[in-house]
Amino acid sequence: MQAMSACAPVRDIRGEPGTHAGGMLERVRKVMASLTGHEMSAIYIQDLLAVDTFIPRKVQGGMAGECAMENAVGMAAMVKADRLQMQVIARELSARLQTEVVVGGVEANMAIAGALTTPGCAAPLAILDLGAGSTDAAIVNAEGQITAVHLAGAGNMVSLLIKTELGLEDLSLAEAIKKYPLAKVESLFSIRHENGAVEFFREALSPAVFAKVVYIKEGELVPIDNASPLEKIRLVRRQAKEKVFVTNCLRALRRSHPAVPFAISPLWCWWAAHRWTLRSRSLSRKPCRTMAWSPGRAIFGEQKGRAMRSPPGCYWPVRRIKRALAPASLFNVLFQDADNEPDFYLNRAVRGRVSWHRIAHFLRRGLRRCAAGRRGQLWSVGDQYYLGPWRRHGHLPDGRCLRRAP
């Protein structure tokens, strides 16, 4: 993979004859040649993703069917697409549907065009599209010039890694483990989620899920027929997503715009907020629907996370505001080198219906801890808080004066 990054962009990749890697690449080339009707020499592999993994192997001579984990390499290849091939599909669809079908263009460019229709979005803009088989990235600058990159490996590869390392026989089960949160049924009336939270039930659960690891799909507990404990399944899923998604995101962004030093953590989490409507002092004590702070709940479900300080220009309404719309702020969760930045801990998730005062308490406490270092200072302007670099005096772009927050 270091050689791939050093010689990008790649025109073609061929494997050494007589090796597993060479056989896999030639098989991909042969299948694509049969599907497109071209010669094998005309099929070009433009990208390759290889990740280290483990595969369970049965111990020869074992008395109880023992298995041992052996090192393996998972590979994904990207075949260069041809517009003529897509045009054949478009003609067939046009004949069957009795309507005109045209080739729209590069997928990443279409994503840029769709993103620019969102109110508030404007160039320069970067788009990451993590699909099933490929990872696409596109960056449009202020002049409207688009740079697109297409890399091998995405969701299907993550499912395959989960299936391989856990020794599953059904790929759909690996897909479900990838998508849905996990839990362990500890009794007929309680389950323990992967984030450590315990949930109790008024009615007894089905005996079919008792003492089993399950995934929660739309409120239904589906048992996982595997002897692996919850912690191992969670760890395998986390590592598989990091190996594929994080690696490809970094590769795509660095290749599409080498001049920008992108820094991405292994996991993104969203602080998504619903609309808050607080009309008066008397109503402010009533419960209101608030945000769900779940750092990677579908991935890890961690209750604690280290979040980097907010970028300049990120405002936080934490006092009573008439018909305030809380901003959806993106946090970067750090799992290493977190001490290099002022950070804070949120000791519990805030979900469901809680009071406005409790919301304000968590926001104020988090921002104060976030601004505890020399490189961060909490300022306030009226009913809004601003987190920025330390300085004696500060002004916003619109001319408003900043003052130290109490």
Q: What is the mean pLDDT of the chain?
A: 69
* Cα angle 327, 384, 320; round to 5: 85
pLDDT on residue 119: 82
Percentage of the chain exceeding pLDDT 70: 62
Residue 176 has pLDDT above 80, yes or no: yes
pLDDT on residue 14: 86
pLDDT on residue 303: 28
The amino acid present at 288, given as its one-letter code, is: C
| All domains in the chain, ordered by first residue | 2-154+237-256 (3.90.470), 267-404 (no CATH)
- What does each C-alpha distance from 119 to 114, 140, 299 come to in angstroms? 11, 17, 29
| Phi, psi torsion values for 165, nearest 5 degrees | -70, -30
What's the rounded mean pLDDT across residues 136-146? 83
| Phi, psi torsion values for 280, nearest 5 degrees | -155, 175
Q: How far apart are CA 253 and CA 108, in angstroms?
A: 13
When mean pLDDT is compared across 156-165, 173-182, 183-192, 348-357, the lowest value belongs to 348-357
When mean pLDDT is compared across 89-98, 277-286, 347-356, the lowest value belongs to 277-286
Q: Do the bridges between strand 384-388 and strand 377-381 make them parallel or antiparallel, or are there none, so unpaired?
A: antiparallel
pTM above 0.85, yes or no: no
Alpha-carbon dihedral sign for residues 166, 167, 172, 173: negative
pLDDT on residue 335: 26
Residue 250 has pLDDT above 80, yes or no: yes
Per-residue pLDDT of 260-311, as tens digits, reads: 554 433 323 222 222 222 222 222 233 323 333 333 322 222 322 333 333 3
Residues facing residue 293 across a β-bridge: 271
Q: How far apart are CA 351 and CA 38, in angstroms?
A: 56
- Give the H/E segment covering residue 355: strand 353-355
Q: Please count the other Cβ atoms lying within 10 Å of the Cβ belonging to residue 368.
A: 15
Instruction: Say which residues have a Cβ less than 8 Å from residue 45's Cβ, sequence separation at least 6.
Output: 12, 13, 14, 25, 28, 29, 77, 78, 79, 80
Q: Please count the other Cβ atoms lying within 10 Å of the Cβ belonging to residue 385.
A: 22
More reliable by pLDDT, 284 or 6 = 6
- What does each C-alpha distance from 293 to 15, 191, 269, 290, 330 come to in angstroms? 46, 21, 8, 10, 11
Q: How far apart are CA 322 and CA 277, in angstroms?
A: 7
Report DSSP letters for 104-135, one per residue.
---HHHHHHHHHTTSTT--SSEEEEEE-SSEE
Residues facing residue 48 across a β-bridge: 77
Residue 140 has pLDDT above 50, yes or no: yes
Q: How far apart are CA 366 and CA 258, in angstroms?
A: 34
Q: Which of 236, 197, 309 is nearest to 55 (CA)?
A: 236
Counting Cβ atoms within 10 Å, is residue 394 exposed (0-12), middle (13-18) or buried (19+)?
A: middle
Percentage of the chain exceeding pLDDT 90: 22
Rg (CA), the chain: 26
The amino acid present at 256, given as its one-letter code, is: S
| Phi, psi torsion values for 347, nearest 5 degrees | -80, -10
Residue 356 has pLDDT above 80, yes or no: no
Q: How far apart are CA 145 and CA 17, in angstroms?
A: 41
Question: How far, rounded to the nearest angstrom, does the alpha carbon of residue 140 sit from its chain's CA centroid?
Answer: 22
Residue with tokens 């856990």: 166
Counting Cβ atoms within 10 Å, is residue 199 exposed (0-12), middle (13-18) or buried (19+)?
A: exposed
Q: How far apart are CA 245 and CA 67, in angstroms?
A: 29
| Phi, psi torsion values for 34, nearest 5 degrees | -70, -30
When mean pLDDT is compared across 130-139, 220-229, 314-323, 372-381, the lowest value belongs to 314-323
Upstream peptide bond of 56 is cis (omega within 30 degrees of 0): no
